[in-house]
Amino acid sequence: MEEFKYIEPQALHDEMRRLREQEQMDFLESLTGMDWGIPDEKDTADTLRGLGVVYHLESTVSGKRLVVKTSTLNRESPELPSVVDIWKGAELPEREVYDFFGILFIHHPDMRRLYLRNDWVGHPFRKDNDPEKDNPLRMTNEETPDTTLEVAQGRDGNLKEKENILFGDDEYVVNIGPQHPATHGVLRFRVSLEGENIHKLDVNCGYIHRGIEKMNESLTYPQTLALTDRLDYLGAMQNRHALCMCIEKAMGVEVSERVQYIRTIMDELQRIDSHILFFSCLCQDLGATTAFLYGFRDREKVLDIFEETCGGRLILNYNVIGGVQADLHPNFVKRVKEFIPYMRKNLHEYHDIFTGNIIARQRLKGIGVLSREDAISFGATGGTGRASGWACDVRKRMPYAAYDRVEFKEIVRTEGDCYARYMVRMDEIVESLNIVEQLIDNIPEGAYREKMKPIIRVPEGAYYAAVEGSRGEFGVYLESHGDKTPYRLHYRATGLPLVGTMNTICKGAKIADLIAIGGTLDYVVPDIDR
């Protein structure tokens, strides 16, 4: 269980710096905006009110975990100190909180909205906000500002607004996206060039923002499950697993050993599916069409296995609270056991046709280097973090399901470049096959689903659960007031920290290398936009 502490806003920045420097809390795992409402006469001394933030911190040195909360009662002009100078990964999440809750972060260099239009009125995640009131459907294009707002605090304690220039009139700026095949969804980069070299990169998100976290507040817990499949179509099984695990943890529900094995196998098949598509799309991005077809050929095998048991290929809807929706198909074990040697054999083809190709190596080796320190500071987990020397696998850090009953290697490299990120994922396919092989003949008998009440109410409290998704740590933060709907349900997107690294990684790189860098980071945009 994570330790919890509340810090007053005026002391927050100093205390956060102390935690980072003295207690080595170098990993900002999750940052969640909150509206705890206005003070009420029935409140106790422990009742938290106001607009605030929940920080999940972890030390990569000691493994210690800590949850920090802070809030302000000022709803007219809510302000909190930024921690972006302590953890680089706070930049985009703080912009998200500003967008949805209206909290202005002091000393944050870029207080623009992240997902919503710049002319959006209000902040829709506040409990007292009516987003439809002042926001009719707008069919006009919005202007993209070349300046950002920073609110700084002077030595006299007064706040002063400062305008920061994103792109000057003399800079040559090109758009990559939003409609671009190599952005893996509708994502836009504005890139300033000096000749062929990237000088600056600005990320523009929100083109497919659906307001899933806000929708969750009006849905029952079983209804919220369906939306997790729509976040990352290459991590649908894992995302839903995380939410089910969080709800089960909150309710004290123990699922059967059979369910643990099934969930683990399904998660690894999903990882294989994702990594094969990663290989295929990267090859396509770099012009290797034949390799692209090899990957799609083999991925079909996994999707066929999913379809037979789950009834779906991308949107799977398989995990439910208390277990899985249906038992394994009678052909499941046979087909999985046939797939394991088939995939091992075909991996050699991948390496023969692409990995060993001199052009591919020149396009990947030494390109887009991310240091271990930056990977941790940005919270870039998954294959990206491990390619930079950071052993960040949730399956090893916080074992869940049946991962403590199998042996597998955590693939870690130190180069931190595109090639390292590529090889980590290729080697992880082998490890996923090993995990599935250890479990497939040993699935225990038992119930595939625990009997649950028709109306599920989660006990009052705050809960966090995480899994190792296809792209990194996927976390679920749940705050319940004991109702049949969640008070707040926030997802730690795997892709947002990855996109946050783009400006750092790409600065000084060739514009032609941007596609390879984005491809090896392996972000999926629906997961970012949520």
* Mean pLDDT, contiguous 10-residue spans, the chain (530 residues): 84 95 94 92 86 95 94 93 95 95 93 90 90 83 85 78 87 84 78 92 90 94 92 92 95 94 96 94 87 90 93 90 94 95 92 89 92 95 95 94 94 95 96 96 92 91 94 95 94 93 92 90 90
DSSP string covering 223-277, please? HHHHHHTTT-TTSHHHHHHHHHHHHHHHHTPPPPHHHHHHHHHHHHHHHHHHHHH
> Tokens at residue 204, please?
């523009």
Phi, psi of 503 (to 5 degrees): -65, -40
What pLDDT score does 286 carry? Answer: 87
Return the CATH fold of 212-529: Cytochrome-c3 Hydrogenase; chain B (1.10.645)
Instruction: Specify the DSSP class assigned to residue 462.
Output: E
What pLDDT score does 43 carry? Answer: 81
Does pTM surpass 0.85?
yes
3-state secondary structure of 46: coil
- Partners of residue 192 on adjacent β-strands: 173, 200
> Tokens at residue 398, please?
């916080």
> Tokens at residue 78, please?
């809510």
What pLDDT score does 2 carry? Answer: 67
What pLDDT score does 333 carry? Answer: 95
> Tokens at residue 83, please?
């921690």
Residue whose structure tokens are 């003399």 = 170
DSSP string covering 70-97, please? EEES-SSS-EEE--TTT-GGGHHHHHHH
3-state secondary structure of 437: helix
Q: Are strands 79-81 and 104-106 parallel, antiparallel or unpaired?
A: parallel
- Partners of residue 58 on adjacent β-strands: 27, 65
Query: Which residues have C-beta within 8 Å of that of residue 67, sequence separation ≥ 6?
Result: 2, 3, 4, 5, 54, 55, 56, 57, 462, 464
Q: Are 184 and 176 in contact (CB under 8 A)?
A: no
CA–CA gap between residue 224 and residue 48 (Å, rounded): 25
What pLDDT score does 415 carry? Answer: 95
One-letter amino acid of 407? E
Q: Are strands 3-6 and 65-72 parallel, antiparallel or unpaired?
A: parallel
Return the domain boundaries, the chain.
1-126, 212-529
Torsion of CA 98, 103, 107, 109, to 10 degrees: 10
What CATH homologous superfamily does 1-126 map to?
NADH:ubiquinone oxidoreductase Nqo5 subunit (3.30.460.80)
> Tokens at residue 111, please?
């207080």
Start-to-end Cα distance in the chain: 28
Do 1-126 and 212-529 agree at the fold level?
no
